[in-house]
Amino acid sequence: MTGKIPGQRKISSEDSGGIKDAVKWPLDYRMQNPAKERYWSHSLYRGPEDKVVEVLYSKDQERSEVLAKMFLNEPVIGFDMEWIWNADKRTRLQENIGLIQIACEDKIALIHIGLHKGTTSKEIIAPSLRKLIENPAIAKTGVSILRADFHRLRKYFGLNPRGALELSHLHSLVNFTGKASSLTKKLVALAAQVQEHLGLPLSKGPVRTSNWSRALNPNQITYAAADAYAGFMLFHCMNAKRMAMDPTPPLPIFADSYPKIGHRGGICLHPLEEGGEAIMAEAFFNIPAEDEKADDKPDIENPANPEPLNILKQTKKPLTKAKVQAVSLDAVSKVLYDRLSENRKALAMEQNVKPYMIASNATLEGLAHRRPLTQDELLEVKGIGERKQAAYGAEWLTVITQFLSSEEATVATIQEPKTPIPNPRRQKIQPDDMSGSSSPAFEAPVQRTPQLHTGISFGMALASLDAGNHGNLPTTGPETVSAASDSDDSSTFVTPPSRPVSERKRKRTEPQTEHRQPPPPPTKESPQPLSPQTKIFRNKMVAFSKLVARKMPSRSSDADPIVSEQTLDHIVTMPPRTIEDLQRIPGIEGFKKACEETGTDLLKNIVKFTPAKT
């Protein structure tokens, strides 16, 4: 079964209302006023008599049965699923698949598996939902639907899902350039396809990694409904473009219908006539297949077919652990690298691919080191091009932003080693008395400065032990204190005083208060060190200000920060509790205006970030 889609018809070329390639919009539901919107969403569409797209939400199996029945007669549905990012470490089935989204033209069903009762697949999955998932006559459209969604349904719930219509294949087909290399099965992110074909970007924020096993909040409902509806609308938009092509190619076959032998990039199309065999896209367009590139990866084993693939083994191996830290990372970057590595593993498991196919270790190191906060800054990281940016950029930015505003980042900053003590081998200290020769060959040998087990050398006579100066060593005077290296071979280049050894020993034991230089008293202008809680508070405010700046539609990436350092210092040292307190903060107007423009409550967020005691 190749998954024939009924209702295919040639569409004449006429005004499309903004749809690329000048093809007629094929559905009754149309986008309203797209020029006034910032992000694409199902809420932008209206049907006859201004009817909105209905969003139906189910929290139990009985309600799920009712909703699933509404879609059993649909030839094409948008299909998507959500789950907790570390779901594979969970034991409950409801956590391995939290939500199943189904969409057609006028309605979207959100079936919240995470709230269903039961411990087995039969108890959790409604009969009509199972029937819909396993019906090969119903096309389920999405991105990575076979490798991610169908894989989880098969692995955790024992279902046999069929009818995976991979939108990336259709995207490659309608973007055919005349070369075989453009007819690839490589995945293209849903957000990138929505931007290109539907004209607006798809919002991808932190909600993607939220907990999908609990009752949904409004942001989660909007996000989940938009993803499923995007799959439905993308299919019909791209299918209209396909039918306007000359010659008109058949639709790609279902991803779960590919033969057991893997194809290294070519798209298979429906038979040209009823009862025939599937045809390669290159053959349909009568172009010779290009030599396969060495870095092309063969498809993974088709989970729907039990027999292993008889294809050449991959010769490229993932990087070894010894090569992980190719660049020197500071303490904060190392912790962020671990976060990005965990996220890469989750994405790889979601798409059922090897982690290095998501991003190399070197790319993650670049992300951890540079810590980009915008899509443009992502492209400055080595190893990230437009394709990687479109596929994983929003995910990486979310991980970085959440990390920088977390307590973990502040703790790593506090624990980061300070600047190392200079090597005394490079410090030659000259005493004020230059009467004696500094060469050991002409006078007494150089005396080694006493050294503690920590490797720090110092002169006992100059160590100040008075109250208020504990641990402070003088840096000026006749015998400047030097630090020794860890090696016993190191020595300080200090000219020995020209007096008897016995006198020198006696002098070392006598107090040298007359030579001590007390530290200057602190001035009012000296900045007071921030407590760990206040540092966390400040980091959260910095990350919050950057998030607000990114949401501003007319703001360029190289513009000045929306809040000054002085204003941030004032906020963290004297956190406002009321609107009146907020208005009294110097320089707050720009920050307030940016928050108002993006619909963000500034005072509410400051109060939320403020520690219990500051």
Task: Read off the pLDDT of each residue in 531-559 and give the average, rounded to a whole number.
Answer: 80
Same domain assignment for residues 106 and 242: yes
544: left (phi over 0), alpha (psi -120 to 50) or beta: alpha
DSSP 111-131: E-GGG---SSHHHHS-HHHHH
Give the separation between CA 572 and CA 567, rounded to whole angstroms.
Answer: 9
Q: Are 208 and 398 contacting, i.e. CB atoms less than 8 angstroms apart?
A: yes
Same domain assignment for residues 543 and 475: no
Phi/psi of residue 578, each to 5°?
A: -130, 170
- The pTM assigned to this predicted structure is 0.51
Q: What is the pLDDT of residue 444?
A: 40
Q: Which of 436-445, 518-527, 535-544, 578-587 has the lowest mean pLDDT?
A: 436-445
Q: What is the pLDDT of residue 528?
A: 60
Q: What is the pLDDT of residue 407?
A: 61
Question: What sign does the CA torsion over 266, 268, 272, 275 have?
Answer: positive
Q: Are 148 and 255 contacting, i.e. CB atoms less than 8 angstroms apart?
A: no
Q: What is the pLDDT of residue 97?
A: 87
Same domain assignment for residues 65 and 128: yes
207-232: b or e for each residue (b if 16 or more CB lie within 10 Å)?
bbbbebbeebeeebbbbbbbbbbbbb
In the chain, what is the greatest distance between 2 CA atoms, to the nearest angstrom?
111
pLDDT in tens, 2-17: 444 543 333 333 333 3
Give the separation between CA 569 and CA 534, rounded to whole angstroms.
Answer: 10
520 within a domain of the structure (yes/no): no
Q: How many residues does the chain have?
A: 614
Give the separation between CA 588 and CA 565, rounded to whole angstroms.
Answer: 11
Same domain assignment for residues 123 and 152: yes
Q: What is the pLDDT of residue 58?
A: 94
CATH number where 66 lies = 3.30.420.10
Same domain assignment for residues 105 and 226: yes
| End residue of a domain, out of 246, 278, 306 | 246
Strand pairing category for 493-494 and 428-429:
parallel
Q: What is the pLDDT of residue 414?
A: 54
Task: Give the relative orientation of helices 589-597 and 602-609 as an angle to the nearest 10 degrees.
Answer: 110
Q: How many CB atoms lie within 10 A of CB 583?
A: 12
Between residues 23 and 128, which one has the greater pLDDT? 128
The one-letter amino acid code at 47 reads G
Between residues 262 and 192, which one has the greater pLDDT? 192
Between residues 163 and 323, which one has the greater pLDDT? 163
Same domain assignment for residues 342 and 472: no
Same domain assignment for residues 438 and 406: no
283 within a domain of the structure (yes/no): no
pLDDT in tens, 138-153: 999 999 999 889 999 9
Q: What is the pLDDT of residue 66?
A: 96
Is 90 exceeded by the pLDDT of residue 46?
A: yes
288 within a domain of the structure (yes/no): no
DSSP 459: -
pLDDT in tens, 118-173: 999 999 999 999 999 999 999 999 999 998 899 999 999 999 999 999 999 999 99
CATH number where 365 lies = 1.10.150.80
Task: Give the relative orientation of helices 127-134 and 61-69 as an angle to the nearest 10 degrees.
Answer: 40
Is 50 exceeded by the pLDDT of residue 483?
A: no
Task: Read off the pLDDT of each residue in 524-550 and give the average, rounded to a whole number.
Answer: 76
379 within a domain of the structure (yes/no): yes
Same domain assignment for residues 152 and 105: yes
Q: Which of 283-297, 311-325, 384-398, 502-516 has the lowest mean pLDDT?
A: 311-325
Q: Domain containing 508: what range?
A: 421-515
**Structural domain count of the chain:** 4
194 within a domain of the structure (yes/no): no
Give the separation between CA 564 and CA 562, rounded to whole angstroms.
Answer: 7
- Nearest Cα residue to 151 out of 350, 342, 309: 350
140 within a domain of the structure (yes/no): yes
pLDDT in tens, 177-214: 888 888 888 889 898 999 999 999 888 667 776 778 78
Task: Give the relative orientation of helices 167-174 and 218-243 as an angle to the nearest 10 degrees.
Answer: 40
Q: Which of 49-63, 72-86, 361-375, 427-441 has the lowest mean pLDDT?
A: 427-441
Q: Please give the mean pLDDT across all residues of the chain.
A: 74
Give the separation between CA 67 and CA 541, rounded to whole angstroms.
Answer: 43
Q: What is the pLDDT of residue 517?
A: 54
475 within a domain of the structure (yes/no): yes
Q: What is the pLDDT of residue 598?
A: 84
Same domain assignment for residues 132 and 65: yes
188 within a domain of the structure (yes/no): no
- Nearest Cα residue to 553 out of 152, 203, 97: 203
Same domain assignment for residues 206 and 71: yes
Taking CA atoms, 191 is separated from 37, 78, 197, 343, 562, in Å, by: 16, 15, 10, 19, 28
Same domain assignment for residues 505 and 579: no
Q: Are 46 and 66 contacting, i.e. CB atoms less than 8 angstroms apart?
A: no
Same domain assignment for residues 328 and 477: no
Which range has the top average pLDDT, 90-99, 100-109, 411-420? 100-109
